[in-house]
Homo-oligomer: A and B are copies of this chain.
Amino acid sequence: MPPLFRRAAILGLGLMGGSLALALRAHGAAESVAGCDALAGRAERARERGAIDVTTASPAEAVREADLVVLAVPVGATCDLLAAIAPALAPHALVTDLGSTKRAVCAWAEALLPDPGRFVGGHPMAGREQSGIEAAVADLFAGAIWCLTPAATTDPAALGRAEALARALGARPLVLDPDRHDTLVAAISHLPMVAAAALVETVAADPAWPEAAPLAAGGFRDTTRVASGSPAMARDICLTNGPAILAWLDAYQEALNRLRAAIAAGDAEAIERMFAQSREARDTWLHAQDKG
């Protein structure tokens, strides 16, 4: 079978873009991969790691011959990047992205691309604690759900090619509306990110922290893992998905208040019931994940 794409252009070579480049090559899904990154030296390091074949001086140059263009930058940089590549895109190119929120990105594509029908918003539900090209791995997307969020104007053929890309890299494409994506992901990804960062802030800013830190073990490590993600990415998520995050944060504060009230009252039954319900819900989810 010939490669899905003749030439891929990966714009941004951090954890996500770098892993995508490695995965494209590992699965033989692109004949050649060009890449660039705004961070000096990173594209060169990606080439040395074998993630890309060619580094280019600019995003526009990278996309000129590409039939697959992937934007792999923090959401906040997507708008300018779309504007920069719009005049240089080949007519047959599929354009997609890997950003954490989709409503804003899809609206920018609609507004900025000469032919927005070829754009398909994408968001693979995969990540790692570390960031940067050094943390990139070829199997990051294996088994992961890969959200694809076509707009009303999206060409069905473009969506089909985006689904084929996700499948070729071992992921499971899931098609949903950009708004719905942002609401759901606010619950299972953005709220945990905010909760983890606030948890670290709470304990690390306290005078007791130097004494408490050595006692912190696996539970603290896991609960706060997502607080070690890129601050720029977190910022852009909060800026482009604020209302959904705030709504989930309201519900979270209410759940904390209910637990607080039960603890303050010393209500053994209520406390145990809440913890038991959470455990059951999580274990049910975990079981479904392991089966899926």
User: With a CB–CB cut-off of 8 A, which chain B residues contact A252?
Assistant: 198-199, 202, 256
Q: Which of A224-246 contact B (CB under 8 A)?
A: 224-229, 231-232, 234-235, 238-239, 242, 245-246
Contacting pair B219 A242 (CB below 8 A)? no
Cross-chain contact of A195 among B199, B232, B275 (Cβ < 8 A): B199
Chain B residues near A225: list those with CB within 8 A.
219, 222-223
- Interface mask (A245-284 → B, CB under 8 Å = 1, otherwise 0): 1101101111110111011101010011111111101110
A214 touching B292 in the complex, CB below 8 Å, given contacts A238-B271, A245-B263: yes
Residues of B within 8 A of A76 (CB): 268
**Is the beta-carbon distance between A282 and B228 smaller than 8 angstroms?**
yes
Q: Check: A147 CB closer than 8 A to any chain B CB.
A: yes
A49 CB, min distance to chain B CBs, angstroms? 23
**Shortest CB–CB separation between residue A75 and chain B, in angstroms?**
12
Total contacting residues, chain A, CB less than 8 A: 94
* 28 A–B contacts from the bound complex (CB under 8 Å): A126-B218, A127-B219, A185-B212, A187-B202, A189-B215, A189-B217, A192-B219, A192-B220, A192-B223, A194-B263, A195-B199, A196-B278, A197-B274, A198-B259, A198-B278, A199-B252, A202-B255, A204-B282, A213-B288, A214-B292, A231-B272, A231-B273, A232-B272, A235-B268, A238-B262, A246-B264, A249-B256, A249-B259
Please judge, given known A-B contacts A145-B215, A184-B215, A185-B215, whether A223 and B201 are in contact too, CB under 8 Å: no
Assess the A249–B260 pair: CB atoms within 8 A.
Answer: yes
A241 CB → nearest B CB, Å: 9
Q: Does any Cβ of B come within 8 Å of A193's Cβ?
A: yes
* Smallest beta-carbon distance A254→chain B, Å: 8
Is B194 in contact with A259, judged by CB distance below 8 angstroms?
yes
Provide the main secondary structure of the chain A interface. helix
Give Cα A205 to B277, complex, Å. Answer: 10
Chain A, 1-42, CB within 8 A of any chain B CB: none
Chain A contacts to B: CB under 8 angstroms: 76, 125-127, 144-145, 147, 174, 180, 183-185, 187-189, 191-206, 208-209, 211-229, 231-232, 234-235, 238-239, 242, 245-246, 248-249, 251-256, 258-260, 262-264, 266, 268, 271-279, 281-283, 285-286, 288-289, 292
> With A204-B281, A217-B126, A271-B238 known to touch, is A195 a contact of B256 (CB < 8 Å)?
yes
Least Cβ distance of A252 to chain B in Å? 5
Q: Which residues of B contact A259 (CB under 8 A)?
A: 194, 197-198, 249
